Structure 1
Amino acid sequence: MAYDSAATKARLLDAAYDEFVRVGLAGARVDRIARAASANKQAIYLYFGSKEELFDAVMADRLRVLADAAPVTADDLPRYAGALFDALVADPGLQRLSQWRALEFPEASEAEIESHVAKATEIAESYGVRLTLATDLMMIALGAAMAWNATAERIRNPLGEPAEQRTARHRQSVVTAVTALTGALTAPADAAAKSAP
């Protein structure tokens, strides 16, 4: 049977995702990742270089998954916030991985900065606002989706509300909050545009 390096890389990424979500970069062990992927530990170094580079590869892979599940809708940030909320509910590990990333690598990578600026530029053009305000709007949408999921995960439904009902209510709250904040923050730009000759 021929050796399939693409399949081995995919298994390593999946196993590493599970490991990094569970214990972060510092707690992760390459031997556990290799064992879970049914691969040789040396394959990690061959394909990814180091544990840190494997973490970066997992992060990039999962950000692509998140981008596919919740593409930025530059002209409709509340919808984007709702899609982010749905993606995080479907895979809570995405949020935990992001939290580990922020703790262990506080500085954003060049790729993250480029992606962030590209999305913010689209939002600025759609809403007719400055790039700095567009960045704030994007962070509000992302922060609202992540905050509800993190809180819901930790508090564990103290009111005994059915899980589906609780999730739907939280999602609606996120969309409503982002709608209100987006409207409030873009209102001055709308008023200026209307008063221009």
Structure 2
Amino acid sequence: MAWDTERTKRLLLDAATAEFSEHGLAGGRIDRIASAAGVNKERIYQYFGKKDDLFAAVLGARLRDSMDAVAMDGEGPEAAADYAGRLFDHHLVDGVIPRLVFWEGLERAELAAADEARAQYHRTKVDRFAQMLPGVDHTTAAELLLTVVSLVNAWPVLSHLDALIVTGHDSGGPARVAARRRTLVRTVEVLARDAQLTAASARD
């Protein structure tokens, strides 16, 4: 029977996603990934290269999936704010991307910054975000998108700060999550509206 290469890659990526999300790059173990996938670890090196390359493949796949799952639709500050809210919802349910991104920042930031595939992914995302805010220049759109991504990714991995800073509530409960989402959405809407007004004033 022919070896199902794509199925094997999927099994390895799924196992590696769980492993790296929990333990990071340095703490992740190839043996555990291979065992969880039910695949000989030599297949990992054959398909993905070294462990660092596997981490990059895992995060890259997750990011591409999230771009498809959370579309950048519409125009104007409300659309930008809606996107931020939907991305917040996605990352809250999934939880993997924020953890992987934070591990990446701690363990392989320079390699990520030099990765052309990742750079292209983010250029595409900035381009789409800029289209949502007509009149806003590319640099300003990139700055605003960085703010969105930073705020959204922080919540799932820095939730302990919520209990420390915003006291007197059920940290992590549905009401608190909804309140945090409203704050995020309103913040992005205000910033996006200000960006458009500033751009319009500069043209006048």
TM-score, scaled relative to structure 2: 0.85
The one-letter amino acid of 2:28's match is A
Match of 2:189 among 167, 179, 193: 179
Q: Is contact 2:80–2:192 with CA below 8 Å preserved after alignment?
A: yes
User: What is the aligned residue count?
Assistant: 194
Runs of 4+ in structure 1 over 6 Å off: none
Give the corresponding residue for 1:63.
63
Q: Is contact 2:92–2:156 with CA below 8 Å preserved after alignment?
A: yes
Match runs of 1:31-50 below 5 Å: 31-50=31-50
What 5-or-longer segments of structure 2 have no aligned partner? none
Q: 1:186 to 1:90 in 2, by over 3 A?
A: same
Displacement of 1:32: 0.7
Give the corresponding residue for 2:142.
135
Displacement of 1:59: 1.0
Q: Structure 1 residue 189 and structure 2 residue 199: aligned?
A: yes
Identical pairs, percent: 38
Give the corresponding residue for 1:97.
100
Q: 1:164 to 1:15 in 2, by over 3 A?
A: same
Which digits, 9 at most, give the CA deviation of each residue in 1:1-51, with x for residues without a partner? 553221111110011011111111111111110001111011101111111
- What is the SS of the residue equivalent to 2:109? coil
Q: Is contact 2:80–2:189 with CA below 8 Å preserved after alignment?
A: yes
Q: Is contact 1:124–1:134 with CA below 8 Å preserved after alignment?
A: yes
Alpha-carbon distance between aligned partners in 2 of 1:51 and 1:123, rounded to the nearest angstrom: 32
Alpha-carbon distance between aligned partners in 1 of 2:192 and 2:65, rounded to the nearest angstrom: 26
Give the corresponding residue for 2:121.
115
Displacement of 1:119: 2.6
Q: 1:162 to 1:93 in 2, by over 3 A?
A: closer
Alpha-carbon distance between aligned partners in 2 of 1:164 and 1:117, rounded to the nearest angstrom: 34
Alpha-carbon distance between aligned partners in 2 of 1:2 and 1:158, rounded to the nearest angstrom: 60
Match of 1:159 among 147, 169, 172: 169
Q: Is contact 2:70–2:86 with CA below 8 Å preserved after alignment?
A: yes
Alpha-carbon distance between aligned partners in 2 of 1:32 and 1:113, rounded to the nearest angstrom: 30
TM-score, scaled relative to structure 1: 0.88
Give the corresponding residue for 1:72.
72
Which digits, 9 at most, give the CA deviation of each residue in 1:54-88, with x for residues without a partner? 11110111111211222234732111111110111
Q: Structure 1 residue 21 and structure 2 residue 21: aligned?
A: yes
Once the two structures are overlaid, the 10-residue window that deviates more, 159-168 or 183-192, is: 159-168
Displacement of 1:149: 3.3
